[in-house]
Structures are given as structure tokens and as C-alpha cells.
Homo-oligomer: A and B are copies of this chain.
Amino acid sequence: MAAQDGGAKMAAWARGVRGLLLDISGVLYDSGGGGGGAPIAGSAEAVRKIKASGLKLRFCTNETQATREKFVKKLQGLGFDISVAEVTAPAPAACRLLKERGLRPHLLVHDDLVPEFAEIDKTNPNCVVVGDAAENFSYANVNEAFRVLIGLEKPVLISLGRGRYYKETDGLKLDVGAYMKALEYACDVEAEVVGKPAKAFFESALAEMGVPPQQDIRMSMK
């Protein structure tokens, strides 16, 4: 009886679902596989089924080592039905925030992410944006970002995610969160995180999907 009640409740809940947010790395594909990643079994088919069902769908990622264009191209090559317009990622969200607040960033990011900031004024910086810069996290580069930040009357640090580390084919890699913490400590500031798990980031994904947050939306996030 209890199981049947549970089933009935589940069915009632399912009828209320209007849309889905899906993570990408570690959910749809595994960056731990060789050759730039491998799809997780059944995930490409699942995306097709969700789309066919009429549910709204949006992809929500903290990827900041490439532009969305490049990232989506890779995923399409792995068999996913996905377009750039369906992806919510930290860099575009950061660009909106920068424009809204008249902020001109000094970028400490991966070379491949820089094009996402093409339309942003970067002269005479009044904030620092840090992403998963990987090899670009040299002492000189991190120190330069630190100097910009500590030189500001009111230091503003924007971090594209707060991950500790991630796994690549050749082992674990320090993620943006570690360098965010280094800059926070050195300048005695608290970073504003754009990307998961920031509430505003999820709200932004929902707005782009056209589903209000008060809907009972279930998120598949890792």
C-alpha cells in the first residue's frame, strides 16, 4: 500500500514537471575517458527522449576551459543533440553581471575562454575574474591578478565556479576554487561565485529555459 501511495505521489509530481536542467561533465560525458572524453552509456539517448517528450531542457555546466562553441562542438561529435543556445555556463553569466555593474575585468582564465569576453571592456580593470586557467595559473599571472585586486579601492573578485579539483585522463587537476581561495586570503575579500552552486546561476538557467523557479523543478546535478 505504501509503495502504491509512493507511486501515486511520484506520478502526480511527474505531471507537474515542466523542465529539466542537466549537468554535462560527469553526467552526460566523462572527461576521464581518453581522446577528450567519452559519452556515459545511455546519456545521448536520454537527451533525445527528454526532448521528444516536450519537456523543456537546458544544459548547465561549470566548464570554463573553452568557449561554449568549442565545448558544444565536442559534445555534438560525441553524439549529443545539443546547441550553444541550450547551454548555461559561467562565462556568459559573468559577462551579464559585468555589464550590469559596469565592471571591467582583469581576466585570469584559460586562453580558450577569452573569446567569451570579446565584447567586454577590459581597459583600466576594476575587478578580477578567475576561471579554471590551468597552466595559465603561473606565479606571474596569479600575482598580476593579485596586484590588480589589492590595488582596487573596493576589491571585487568574481570566480567562475568554486570547484576544488577535477579528474583528467592524466590525473587530478586543481580547479578554480583553489586559486579563488588564494586570492581571497591574500586580499581579505570574499569572491562572488558565478556558476554552480550559486543560486543566481540556477535562476539564470531557469529564466533562459522559460520556467519560473517556483515550479517544482528537479535538477540532475552532480
Chain A residues proximal to chain B, CB less than 8 Å: 133-140, 142-143, 146-147, 150, 164-165, 171-175, 177-179, 181-188
Contacts and interface: CB of A to CB of B under 8 A. Distances in A.
* Centre residue among A140, A175, A181 by max chain B CB count within 10 A: A181
Given A133-B139, A143-B172, A178-B182, 16 more contacts: A134-B139, A135-B139, A139-B174, A143-B174, A146-B165, A146-B174, A146-B178, A150-B165, A164-B185, A164-B187, A165-B186, A174-B186, A178-B183, A178-B185, A181-B185, A182-B182
Nearest to A145: B174
A172 B140 CA distance: 11
| Total identical chains | 2
A12 B133 CA distance: 59
A141 to B, nearest CB: 9
10 nearest A-B residue pairs (beta carbon): A178-B182, A181-B185, A137-B139, A182-B182, A178-B186, A181-B181, A164-B186, A143-B174, A135-B139, A146-B174
A179 B216 CA distance: 42
24 contacts: A134-B139, A137-B142, A138-B138, A138-B139, A139-B174, A142-B174, A143-B174, A146-B172, A147-B171, A147-B172, A150-B165, A164-B185, A164-B186, A164-B188, A165-B186, A174-B182, A174-B186, A178-B182, A178-B183, A178-B186, A181-B181, A181-B182, A181-B184, A181-B185
Contacts of A139: 133-138, 174
B182 A186 contact: no
Contacts of A175: 186
A144 B178 CA distance: 14
Nearest to A150: B172
A140 B146 contact: no
